[in-house]
Amino acid sequence: MYVESFKNNGIPYLRLVRNDRVTNKNGIKTATKTVVLNIGPLSRFDDGLPDYVDRLKQSFKAGNPLIPSLLPYCSGEITPETYRFSIKEGSPDCFGHPKLFSHVLMERILEELGLNTFFSSYKGFTKLQYDVYGFAKLLIFGRLLNPASKHATVRQNDNYYEPLLQDFNPDNVYDTLDFIADNKDKIIRRINTNLVKKAHRSPDIIYYDVTNFYFEIGEPDEDVLDDEGNIIERGQRKMGVCKEERKLPIVQMGLFMDDEGIPIAIETFPGNTLDHLTLRPALKKTIDGLDFSRFIMIADRGICNYQNLLHILDAGNGYIVSKSLLKSTKKEQEWTYDDEGYTAISNDFKYKSRIRKKKVKDEAGNPRTVEEKVVVYWSRKFQARAERENRKFLDFLKKLEEHPENFRITAVQSKALRKFFKKECVNEETGEILDSSRIRAFVDFDKVAEYRKSLGYYQIVTSELTMDAQEVIDKYHGLTQIEDQFRVMKGDLDTRPLYVRTPEHVTAHLLICMIALIMLRIIQKRMRDSGVVPKDPDAYWSSGLSAGRIQDALNKWKVEELSDGLYRFMDVDAPDLKLILDAFGIRIPVRLYRRAELKHIKTGINVFM
């Protein structure tokens, strides 16, 4: 049973109805709607607050109706329905075919992000002949539930209780990728507009980091040149520093996120683009045009370039970024290591800060002066972790210093030692490397000592002159959680290796992965906000259920048709799935369902609290 609103002579009324199956005069079972209770005109009960009908429906489902006269129908005083159906041996109904039902939740999320109206309106505007929204849903849902190739994802269409596509050409999946790439910026704007309006997103903090994805191809893309050798178009799949140490062509991806861990935007770059060269183009392309109020950009030291920071300041925003201590001036290092001025929280942590003015150049080469706060701190825990992570290399350096004659340097060790080389001992013309017996001559052990001394120390610079030093440190540490985003994309969402070829399809693929990640984070946020899972300060964005557990739970949410139009849910009592359903207020009473009742479940889902 469910509450229904209908109109009589233009006046809204409320009634309680039940869907039944009856046999007509021809002996065929058909669906019919039975009115259990005429509640009365809506105006009699409406409390004047928004969404009264939706709240009434939810309260009835929860067993605590806003209208007291409905209470007996919630408490089981109505005689439970007895289901009668028969299945004959040899009938196809003897075999079950459970279908995914979790897409109803994901569809509601896409609707709240405004993507249903976006795709529908643009389809009409461009006069597309195929179901671009249906294909987009398949690609996004498939990436979240069962990542696969594009054609394999299209074949998942029949896995859903209500197939997302009807009478389609599978090759249109690539046309959909073109459409998504062509409208990438509009899609990102639509998502962010709706998150601001419906989820009250107001990012005071925006995190930025860069990762890359590899392609299992033989050769990188070549640049397109004109007759004079000038680059017309840069190849995208290029050799670069792969985060996963694969010697394969890669593409760079910059990701912006808010302080809830929900992605804001992505930008893609050729694989040989240095990290710090991605920020300004990414800001200009997306963030600068999103009309956010003032925010603080947080990024790691790979992005710490004053041309980037001046662009952020000139847009009226702020920054908190780390800066390499070993690349700082000797005077800055001496101030860091000097015990004077430190505030000790315990024997394991201390910090200090100062305000400084620094002369820098903007992207046009003009001299500028910036005033910023420098925060340095030392942590015993971070020092121990750094020593643990670099134990083999540190032991190697110690043995190398004591007995250089016993070592033959491998290519990997040579690369790691490069930052400790004395420049005057390398022949830049011939590239000659001294033999291992003279290794002491070109390894600068003073630099090695500086490296050991720096372990446990961190340096952060910020435009926020009045912000407390500890708050600066705390806000910066939120950046560490962005690594979880990349792990989810590369692991649970199976973003790489990439098998699409064109720059447009690469862009579309990564945007689809970003939307899937947004949906995942919205589910996790709803679970935190609803209180069904505790908030974990060490893993705030993914508190409660990991991405993998949510993925498994959504794959369990299935429905199976029995006979005579009756359906039963599968595994809705599974612990993880029940947590998700409870978080969204989705009630699945223990009973069988008819098709109209299944449709009613989707309409009652509220995505944002």
Question: What's the token pair of residue 309?
Answer: 């920071």
Q: What are 3-38's pLDDT values in tens digits?
A: 888 888 888 889 888 877 666 667 676 777 788 888
51: in domain: yes
Distance CA 15, CA 5 (A): 7
Does 114 or 415 have the greater pLDDT score?
114
Q: What are 163-215's pLDDT values in tens digits?
A: 999 999 999 999 999 999 999 999 999 999 999 998 888 889 999 988 888 88
Tell me if residue 323 falls in helix, strand or coil: coil
pLDDT at 590 over 60: yes
> What residues contact residue 580 under an 8 Å CB cut-off, 6+ apart?
105, 523, 527, 545, 550, 553, 554
Please give the sequence-ordered ranges of beta strands (E in DSSP) within 82-204, or none if there are none: 99-100
Domain boundary among 435, 454, 473: 454
Question: Cα separations (Å) of 121 from 193, 195, 567, 604?
Answer: 17, 20, 34, 25
Q: What does the pLDDT read at residue 553?
A: 95
Distance CA 571, CA 559 (A): 9
In the 8-state DSSP scheme, what is residue 215? B
Contact 185, 178 (CB under 8 A): no
What is the mean predicted confidence (pLDDT) over 395-417? 61
Give the 3-state secondary structure percentages of the chain, helix then strand then coil, rounded to 5. Answer: 45, 20, 35
End-to-end C-alpha distance for the chain, whole angstroms: 25
Q: Of 503, 412, 413, 401, which is closest to residue 452 (Cα–Cα)?
A: 401
Question: What's the token pair of residue 132?
Answer: 């671009």
27: in domain: yes
Q: What does the pLDDT read at residue 441?
A: 45
pLDDT at 504 over 80: yes
Number of Cβ atoms within 10 Å of the Cβ of 332: 16
Lowest model confidence (mean pLDDT) among 71-75, 76-80, 489-493, 564-568: 76-80
Tell me if residue 189 falls in helix, strand or coil: helix
Question: Residue 20, Cα to own-chain centre: how many angstroms?
Answer: 43
Distance CA 117, CA 110 (A): 10
Domain boundary among 20, 52, 82: 82
Q: Of 312, 353, 314, which is closest to residue 206 (Cα–Cα)?
A: 312
Number of Cβ atoms within 10 Å of the Cβ of 517: 26
Record the pTM: 0.79
The residues with which 372 forms a beta bridge, in sequence order, are 356
Question: Residue 557, Cα to own-chain centre: how many angstroms?
Answer: 22
46: in domain: yes
481: in domain: no
Hunting for tokens 């069904």 — which residue is that? Answer: 532
Question: What's the token pair of residue 386?
Answer: 């750094």
pLDDT band for position 234 (cuts 50, 70, 90): confident
Q: Which residue type does 525 have?
A: K
What is the per-residue burial (b if ≥16 Cβ within 10 Å, else e) of 189-207? bbbbebbbeebebebebbb
Alpha helices (runs of H) in 164-209, residue ranges in sequence order = 172-182, 184-198
Given its phi and psi angles, is residue 48 left (phi above 0), alpha (psi -120 to 50 degrees) or beta?
left
Q: What are 526-563's pLDDT values in tens digits?
A: 998 888 887 776 666 666 788 899 999 999 999 998 87
Question: Cα separations (Å) of 602 from 101, 211, 571, 585?
Answer: 10, 36, 18, 11
For 497, the enclosing helix (H) or strand (E) is none
Distance CA 445, CA 401 (A): 8
For 603, the enclosing helix (H) or strand (E) is helix 595-603
Contact 191, 114 (CB under 8 A): yes
pLDDT at 596 over 50: yes
The percentage of the chain sitting over the pLDDT mark of 70, rounded to a whole number, equals 86
Alpha helices (runs of H) in 247-358, residue ranges in sequence order = 279-285, 306-314, 330-337
* Total count of domains within the chain: 2
Q: What does the pLDDT read at residue 423?
A: 47
The residues with which 462 forms a beta bridge, in sequence order, are 320, 373
pLDDT at 265 over 90: yes
412: in domain: yes
Does 520 or 436 have the greater pLDDT score?
520
Lowest model confidence (mean pLDDT) among 187-191, 241-245, 277-281, 467-471: 241-245
What is the mean predicted confidence (pLDDT) over 329-348? 89
Q: Which residue type does 237 have?
A: R
Query: Which domain range does residue 25 map to?
Result: 1-82
Sign of the CA dihedral with 581 first, then 584, 588, and 594 last: negative
Contact 567, 593 (CB under 8 A): yes
Question: What's the token pair of residue 521?
Answer: 């984070």
Question: What's the token pair of residue 362?
Answer: 């903007």
33: in domain: yes
382: in domain: no
Lowest model confidence (mean pLDDT) among 39-48, 125-134, 405-414, 434-443: 434-443
Domain boundary among 454, 473, 494: 454
Task: Calculate the average pLDDT of the chain.
Answer: 84
What is the mean predicted confidence (pLDDT) over 249-266? 90
Q: What does the pLDDT read at residue 541?
A: 64
The top-scoring range by mean pLDDT among 62-71, 150-159, 491-500, 542-551 is: 150-159
Tell me if residue 407 falls in helix, strand or coil: coil
1: in domain: yes
